[in-house]
Amino acid sequence: MKDSLLSVRIPADLADALDRRAADRGVGRSVMVREAVAAYLTTRPTPAPVMPMPLEAFLEAWKTAPRLSADEAAAYEADLRDARAELPPLDDPWT
């Protein structure tokens, strides 16, 4: 696979740390950066656990949730309707 040249601007202290780590391993900056980018792109972040909210807490939070005015709600509905009209029709998998 052909390599691609990439220029990245990083703070001086980060570049210094990169140089020290590369020297410790006896490799160049490019090797360190390639390995770091590859590791970053191949690991999936662990999603934060979603804690269920008790109904009572939800109802209490709902009381203070922001509400749309009638005009805002009508504009939102119109935007959704217009966006839906622009979508191509779905193929019916049953026909």
Per residue in 21-51, pLDDT (tens digit) is 999 999 999 999 999 999 988 888 888 888 8
90: which 2 tokens?
């779905």
pLDDT of residue 13: 94
Instruction: Look up the pTM and report it.
Output: 0.46
pLDDT of residue 77: 96
Cα dihedral 24, 27, 28, 32 sign: negative
* Residue closest to 29 by CA, chosen among 18, 43, 40: 18
